[in-house]
Amino acid sequence: MFCFKEADVRFLISIFVLFAAAGLNADISDGLSGAWMFENFASGEVRDYSGNNAAGITKGNPEDCGGYISGGIELDGFDDYINAPSFSMNTQNATFCAWIKTHSIPNWWVSIINTHKASGKCGLAFYKKQNQLAYYWNDSKYSFDSGLEIPLNQWVFTAVVIAPQSAVLYVKPQGGQLAKAVNLDSHSFCTLSGVMIGRDSAPGWGDGERRFDGCIDEVRIYSRSLPESEIIQLSDMSRCWNYPPLVYASDSQIAYLGESKPFACSFEDDGRPFIGGCGDLTQGTSFQKSFLWSKLSGPGSVSFTAPSQQSTEAVFSETGNYQIQIEVSDGPSGVPADIYGKTGSEVIDVDVVSESEKKLAADYRFQQQPDEAAVDSAGLNDWAARLEFGSSFQTHCNAPENGKGVGFMPGEDSVFEIQPQPAGASEISGIKEATVCVWIMPLTVSEGNGKVCFSAKSSSGNTFTLQGSTPLSYSQWHHIAAVYDAVQGQMRIYVNGSLDASAEIPPAALSSEWYEPLIGSGGSGKRENFVGCIDKLQIFNYALSGQEIVSQIECSEFVFAGLNGEADISGRFNLPDCRVNLFDYAMFSENWLTESLSPADFNEDSHTDIADLAVLAENWLFCKDPQDTNCLQHFGF
């Protein structure tokens, strides 16, 4: 032992030679706040194995160098580093460790692990003086002379253990012995809000002067002061080390009471314990991944159809908020201890609602005057205010459903903004899934070549966009439906009742962030105004099926009461239009004159004659649409 003592004792340096005990490869996960292995970072993301979701983001162009344990990352000493901005820790007890292989002696202090901030830095580093290990703690301690030299171009285990009254630094070259140095000095609390690997955050230093040049592997940060026995275990790690699987599943999902709801997960794993040379383990079915679905909390029971499979379905017995959990294990417990099976898990929040809550949340028929707000005829709470930003040429169009729709003419700069009245009473702001149905007639060419585009933001903050496949014809009416299915995890677009495009998405509820949707424009920041006509815009708080969407076009609710509308055989576009009027009479007359049976043979007697005309007249008399000037009542009969 070598001791250095001054009259005013501030610190004691002790260098020990420690012999690592063989066979101590048990995992050390207690207090593990961050763990980056660098096994696969081709996507630009370095996953965090600690379970705290502090993934790293590669900067520059780092390369795979084949690490000490498995994969490693090589940094060029100029602009390569890893940024983990979401890492957070505030502590007076900590441990930083990593395996490094440095290619050059630095000009200054070079960080292995360091905080984001330029002041109050905390982390592990090494110094140009004999290429020795150093550390930071609240912008100080970096001048501590550890005497622990780091050899070039060789894998070396490095660590620092921080306690309130001491810091212990460790170095162990591959195949060598573990040495340590002790700094008996006080250490206050340090806040780590984001960390960087391979870069020093000191201001005023150009690229290349404080960047790591070499390979790094197995970076770990603990929120506790590891004892020396655990440091020995970490420095003696072999390639048989096993990490728990990382499990992913969509959060904030919804389900309907009594209905089967599908759930699924994905996972990433390090492939262990399937590694050759790791004891006497042999591959087999007993080492396959195992899964377990279970209920953590909620007002009722949850029945899983396949609780031990990667995907399952669940039925909930009561409405309310639930939490369910999926656990993934990568192998059985057994010998040797360092590769026994590990388990990762993910918790999913599920909001269970009743079928009775499904409804038409907003309904706009645009029967108002051009300068008036559009009334919400479904709930009356979400009226659409008309906003003008310039010259207005807004007019009405002849529309397929209600006789007239709202027109947005070329050169016009006005939109409708849906606003809750009274404030906070909106029936659409909190919906978790949705269907929007609308009749549109575009009048000009759009950027998407006339195809429908549908965007939605989920509760997880992700925005998904789906584009249709069918170009819409101009100056013609089309029925459009956009469906966000949070239960099945789908987005769908229907054009004129036919499925036009669909995409699988994570089954998460819609974002609860309230914004005031616009009708006739793509957004208030950069308005991309629609040019054309719009009629019967409806917003449902659930995902309509394809059959339900077709029913929106096939006149499931006739505007005339008391009859089934069998004489509704035509309309402005030679299609049934939910009313009986002159268009149907014209079609009937043509069928009668040409002796055609269908569709004018209303009484199905194989003749088109005066008996069918009587049915037509009866239907026509019940045309009650006050906006349709073709209804018989407008002729004064």
Say how far apart CA 90 and CA 52 lie, in whole Å.
Answer: 15
| Average pLDDT for 26-36 | 81
Question: What's the confidence (pLDDT) of residue 286?
Answer: 40
Short-list 15, 18, 8, 16, CA closest to 145: 15
Q: Which CATH class, in words, describes the domain spanning 32-236?
A: mainly beta
CB neighbour class for 77 (10 Å; exposed up to 12, middle 13-18, buried from 19)? buried
CB neighbour class for 22 (10 Å; exposed up to 12, middle 13-18, buried from 19)? exposed
Short-list 577, 584, 572, CA closest to 612: 584
- Going from N- to C-terminal start, the domains of the chain cover 32-236, 246-275+286-356, 360-555, 582-635
In angstroms, what is the C-alpha Rg of the chain?
35
| Average pLDDT for 538-547 | 88
Question: What's the confidence (pLDDT) of residue 562?
Answer: 37
Per DSSP bridges, beta strands 343-353 and 253-256 are parallel
User: Where does 246-275+286-356 sit in CATH, by number?
Assistant: 2.60.40.10
pLDDT at 419 over 80: no
Compute φ and ψ for 347, nearest 5 degrees: -105, 135
Fold matches, 246-275+286-356 and 360-555: no
What the block records as the tokens of 91 is 């502590």
**Structure confidence at residue 411 as a pLDDT band (50, 70, 90):** low
Say how far apart CA 13 and CA 142 lie, in whole Å.
Answer: 14
CA angle 551, 557, 559 (to 5 degrees): 140
Compute φ and ψ for 304, nearest 5 degrees: -100, 130
pLDDT in tens, 262-309: 999 998 876 665 444 444 333 333 456 889 999 999 999 999 999 999
Q: At what angle do helices 610-621 and 582-593 cross, to 10 degrees?
A: 180
- What fold, for 360-555? Jelly Rolls (2.60.120)
**Structure confidence at residue 556 as a pLDDT band (50, 70, 90):** very low
pLDDT at 380 over 70: no
Dmax of the chain from CA atoms? 123
3-class secondary structure per residue, 432-465: CCEEEEEEEEECCCCCCCCCCEEEEEECCCCEEE
Short-list 183, 181, 154, 179, CA closest to 232: 179
